[in-house]
Structure 1
Amino acid sequence: MGSTTTGALGTVLPVRQYYVQTDSALPGQAYRMCFSSTCAMAVKYLRPGALLGANADDTYLRTVQRFGDTTSPSAQIAACAHYGVAARFGTHGTSSLLQREIDGGFPVGTGFLHHGPSQAPRGGGHWILAIGYAPAAGVFNDPYGELNNPAGGYVQVGRGGRAVHYSWRHWLPRWEVEGTGTGWFMTYRLA
């Protein structure tokens, strides 16, 4: 897994694999497989030999589809287990939970609303992998690209999402939509 970088700029896990969901070769999946690309990055980090190739999130998605749809937490949990990773889904996430997991050496999948301004987010949701944090921001691998965190939408699609810093000020309202302690998340451990 490598060593965690900790310094004045924060803590970042050495999650080297970054999967871009928009390059999927599976018909109709590129714009809806963010949850699968996110979980695939976590699996690759915890089990480096489990997924091979630059586009291995497609391989992971095929496994997910054996258990259900890419949007299903239970299908993701089953797919992670197939690769030797125990995943747990929750809906009570906080920034301190993210920091504890990252301090323990584990990235965290996070589901949030990516449309509309941060003070009134909307949309069907999007998943990204929390890989670090700094005093004023989270550090994420965003499989869709680079989010315009204050306004919503994306400034770069299909690129720019590796180790991107999203300010807590604008990202936490997108994640904890129903108030403090309501963020959707997925934790990962070796099985």
Structure 2
Amino acid sequence: MTLSTGQRLLLPVRQYYVQTDSRIPGQAYRMCFSSTCAMAVKYLRPDALKGSNADDTYLHTLRRYGDTTSAQAQIQACADYGVIARYSTTGDRALLEAELKAGYPVGTGFLHHGPSSAPHGGGHWILAVGFEPGAGIFNDPYGELDTINGGYVRVGSGGHNVVYSWRHWLPRWEVEGPGSGWLMTFRRSDGLPPVA
């Protein structure tokens, strides 16, 4: 973990999974939640998933419990890898930063279509891995988001440790007002801290 002058923090989440390279038919453009959770699992349990495309392995596990869009299926799949995942719809920036300061990445679900002043769409999941003054730092499995206008400026690349301004990202996350962000927190089931 890095915490220096200016309050920049970046967790050493080295594994970045790109969802668009999935080899599972029909899943590449809809498995952001699974790719996000797989990155968290890999960070907390480095030996749990192997290979650069191991989010596919994770997705195979998850599909025993339900669809990639199901929070409950994600919780059960994470448990299979020795990770306790908790889903909530009451996230805010303070909670996000507290989790990161404690050494844990956070899955976040937000709206990625339309301008930040009026976001819409079915939603997208990314992994918060740090923050700096005025912005969050994320592993975005789809690529690089245009936080101002919506949509993606790069698909399949550019999403590793990408910086999204709080000004334009938070309204996409806390759509129903302060403290309404969708999130998934993660802990090792043995209670030990991250080994990364």
Q: Same fold (TM over 0.5)?
A: yes
TM-superposition CA deviations, 1:45-69 (whole Å, max 9, x none)? 0000000001000000000100000
The one of 66, 70, 73 aligned to 1:72: 70
Paired-residue identity, %: 70
Correspondence for 2:4: 7
Correspondence for 2:111: 113
Unmatched runs of 5 consecutive residues or more in structure 2: 190-196
**Distance between the aligned counterparts of 1:12 and 1:73, measured in 2?**
26
Correspondence for 1:63: 61
1:20 maps onto 2:18 in alignment: yes
The one of 81, 84, 95 aligned to 2:82: 84
The one of 81, 101, 111 aligned to 1:103: 101
The one of 28, 52, 73 aligned to 1:30: 28
**Distance between the aligned counterparts of 1:90 and 1:123, measured in 2?**
19
**Distance between the aligned counterparts of 2:3 and 2:98, measured in 1?**
14
How far has the Cα of 1:87 moved from its partner?
A: 0.2
Correspondence for 2:169: 171
1:130 maps onto 2:162 in alignment: no
**Distance between the aligned counterparts of 1:54 and 1:119, measured in 2?**
36
- Give the alignment's TM-score, normalised by structure 2: 0.95
**Distance between the aligned counterparts of 1:58 and 1:135, measured in 2?**
34
Alignment of 1:141-160 (within 5 A): 141-160=139-158
**Distance between the aligned counterparts of 1:7 and 1:163, measured in 2?**
17
Unmatched runs of 5 consecutive residues or more in structure 1: none
**Distance between the aligned counterparts of 1:109 and 1:8, measured in 2?**
26
How far has the Cα of 1:188 moved from its partner?
A: 0.1
TM-superposition CA deviations, 1:77-98 (whole Å, max 9, x none)? 0000000000000000000001
How far has the Cα of 1:6 moved from its partner?
A: 1.1
Task: Give secondary structure in 1 for the equivalent of 2:187.
Answer: strand
1:52 maps onto 2:47 in alignment: no
How far has the Cα of 1:8 moved from its partner?
A: 2.9
Give 2:5's aligned amino acid.
A
**Structure 1 runs of 4+ off > 2 angstroms?**
none
**Distance between the aligned counterparts of 1:131 and 1:13, measured in 2?**
5
CA RMSD, Structure 1 to Structure 2 (Å)? 0.5
- Give the alignment's TM-score, normalised by structure 1: 0.98
How far has the Cα of 1:135 moved from its partner?
A: 1.6
